[in-house]
Amino acid sequence: MPACSHPGRGVTRRRLLGVAVAGAGVAGLGGCGIRTDASAPPASAGPTGAASTATTDRPRTTRVVAGRLGDALVAGDRTGFVDLFTAGARSLGEVWFAAWRSFTDVAIGGSADGHLELTWRLGEEAGTSAAALPIKFLGALIDGVDDPSPLPIWLRHPVVLARSGPVSVLAAAEVDADAWLEHARTAADRVRDAGLDGWHGWTGDVVVEIPVDSRDFDLRDAGDAGSGAAAYTVREVDHQDVVVVDPMVTRAWSDADVAGLLTHEVVHVALGVSGDRAPMWVREGVADWVAAPWWPKLRAENRAASAGAPADAELPTDADFADPDTVARAYALAEAAVAGIVAEHGRDALLAWAHDWAGAPAPSAAALTELLRAELARRR
């Protein structure tokens, strides 16, 4: 999917992620209890410096280690957990133990290809997240991990979890997670007030992640966000939607701009998968339209980008959002088109069309184009 290269916006992408964690060797933490594979024989830790576990033994080793990690996690046994790592990887064990202990309903298992599979929630009201970790073994000890795709922000860096009701923020330890939590709560309230409460089953749940740097921001969703985007929303099928923010892009932003950015992204969460059926200009236009009243940076950028739009401007195409030379105007025209729809037909009609673009009796493209042009004329 096209990545947004405009630093004031993000991009919503849908990823098909199906991590099966219900198989043998799954350990659960929280309400799920502990489940281990009693049929798996114990693995020997092996001497330090031994060759890596053979490929044929990987799935079994992973299942056994998954069970032991789960046992130590539930018992709160930090030493026992970290002892499952080699001396050179103990810091990795410390990071994982601290992060996983802060999560809810953690389940750990091993896949048929030898990956360590993990599911978790960031709170009782949050949806499920998942990761598949390509572990490096030395004997039966964890000696490291290759970068998975996508890359969890807690993989190598300590994180802090802040949550309030259905809103959660998972951030690198250097980030003020509590401040971001307040911004996320504000964004959720604004989106509810815009009429999206209950939309496609959304009841206000928001998960925001802030990695340690721009590299981990890119890798959080397969490494194709990039190009200076400030944020994006990861939509994982059957899993929690996650708003991911680049701390390097937003670190000099005002509180109003940060809350505005999150408002834009939470609209994508609220619209859900059904909103993905609408053209990109509708999805991004609705998100900008909801966020604009509170987002000074957005208002200024949209004014500047739309000022030179011709009188016969057309609705932006998906390609316009992918092109660095046209993306800023694409967002500005999308927001203007949505504002024109609301002025003519009302908010409820707009949201109904966004929800079911193919099935709802939306106006023709020609009629929508005229609404865009009329809105631009009002703004001149």
Each residue's pLDDT tens digit, 61-116: 999 999 999 999 999 999 999 999 999 999 999 999 999 999 999 999 999 999 99
Model pLDDT, residue 356: 79
List CB contacts of 86: < 8 A, sequence separation 6 or more: 48, 138, 141, 142, 143
Each residue's pLDDT tens digit, 114-126: 999 999 999 888 8
- Mean pLDDT (whole number) for 139-144: 95
| Averaged confidence pLDDT in the chain | 83
The domain spans of the chain are 10-15+158-379, 27-145
Percent pLDDT > 90 in the chain is 61
Model pLDDT, residue 7: 41
Domains 10-15+158-379 and 27-145 in one fold: no
Model pLDDT, residue 199: 67
- Mean pLDDT (whole number) for 297-303: 90
Query: Which CATH number fits the domain 27-145, given the four candidates 3.30.70, 1.10.10, 3.90.550, 3.10.450?
Result: 3.10.450
CB 283 within 8 A of CB 205: no
List CB contacts of 244: < 8 A, sequence separation 6 or more: 153, 208, 209, 210, 211, 217, 220, 221, 225, 231, 232, 233, 234
Each residue's pLDDT tens digit, 13-64: 332 222 223 333 334 443 333 333 333 344 444 433 444 444 458 899 999 9
Q: How many residues does the chain have?
A: 380
Each residue's pLDDT tens digit, 216-243: 998 888 655 455 789 999 877 667 889 9
- Exposure string of 308-337, with b = 16+ CB inside 10 Å and e = fewer, is ebeeebebbeeebbbeeebbbbbbbbbbbb
Model pLDDT, residue 278: 85
Which CATH code for domain 10-15+158-379? Answer: 1.10.390
Answer yes or no: is pLDDT of 374 > 90. yes
CA distance linking residue 72 with residue 80, whole number of Å: 6
For the sheet with 167-172, list strands across it: 10-15, 231-236, 242-245, 206-210, 167-172, 159-164
The larger pLDDT score, comparing residue 366 to residue 352, is at 366
The closest of 7, 14, 2, 67 to 268, measured between CA atoms, is 14
pLDDT interval class at 273 (50, 70, 90) = low
- Mean pLDDT (whole number) for 164-182: 96
Task: Tell me which H or E stretch contains 184.
Answer: helix 177-191
For the CA atoms of 122, 64, 60, 139, what is the dihedral angle to 10 degrees? 110
Answer yes or no: is pLDDT of 169 > 90. yes
Task: Tell me which H or E stretch contains 92.
Answer: helix 90-102
- Mean pLDDT (whole number) for 196-221: 87
Model pLDDT, residue 56: 54
CA distance linking residue 338 with residue 349, whole number of Å: 11
Tokens representing 152 are: 């969890």
- Mean pLDDT (whole number) for 305-324: 92
Model pLDDT, residue 42: 40
pLDDT interval class at 274 (50, 70, 90) = low
